[in-house]
Amino acid sequence: MVHTEKDAPTEAALEEELARVHVSKQQESSDEDSDFVPVGFDYDGFNQMAEGILHLEKPENGETVQTDVLSYEFLLARIEKYLKPSDQQIESKIKIPISIKRDGSTKTAFNITDVCNVIDRDVLHLKQFIEVELSVNSSIDGGGRLIIKGIYPEAQVQRLVRNYIKQYVTCGICASLSTALEKKDKLLFKKCLTCGATQTVNAIQQGYKALTTKRSVLRRKAVE
């Protein structure tokens, strides 16, 4: 049920409701009649976020949110809505126009410039990643395509691009693709422009290669 503006709670009522939804540190040990509070729960952080959500839930068209729905579950859902993009939003961002074609009989052409424009990464960085992963040499032609020595199936190149995006583009906290690579003190960082999180990532160099083969297979080859 939605209250009209006539029935809107007073400021004092909102303060009382906020005090009710605040989580007390004394609730850490719960019994059958009390709400369960996870161990290690950030009480202060949750309460601050609850206050922010109360301000975000402003009345529209003379209507107000029913205050008795401001439970732990409701506030948690609201936090996720404001902090994390939906799966549909993420899916729409990762539709990358990958085109893999043969270039003659011994080479593979990949539209690396188009891909890097979408994910906002330097062409040479992705080029280096692909060269190290495939242990091959490559070059950029006049059309902005990556010419790889050897014939590689489209699925294999797509898998490499997905791995690159996971490691060097996607934020590990909120899954946003709006990130930037920054180098500081000889370390490479991936900074999210959406949630502000910062993570260290491996610098691409000769000899570095993502582990894509099962360890059991590698051990068997080593024995042979």
Can you spell out the DSSP letters for 153-174? -HHHHHHHHHHHHHHHTS-TTT
Co-location of 217 and 133 in the same domain: yes
Co-location of 102 and 190 in the same domain: yes
Please give the residue range of the domain that contains residue 9: 3-83
> For the chain, what is the domain count?
2
pLDDT at 39: 55
Contact between 128 and 144 under an 8 Å Cβ cutoff? The reply is: no
Q: Which amino acid is at 109?
A: A
Co-location of 104 and 203 in the same domain: yes
Could you tell me the pLDDT band of residue 9, with boundaries at 50, 70 and 90? low
Q: How far apart are CA 91 and CA 89, in angstroms?
A: 5
Co-location of 54 and 136 in the same domain: no
Can you spell out the DSSP letters for 100-115? EEEETTTEEEE-HHHH
**Chain segment 186-207, per-residue pLDDT in tens:** 899 999 998 889 999 998 876 5
Could you tell me the pLDDT band of residue 115, with boundaries at 50, 70 and 90? very high
Residue 78: phi and psi, rounded to 5, are -65, -40
**Strands, DSSP E only, in 11-86?**
63-64
pLDDT at residue 109 above 80? yes
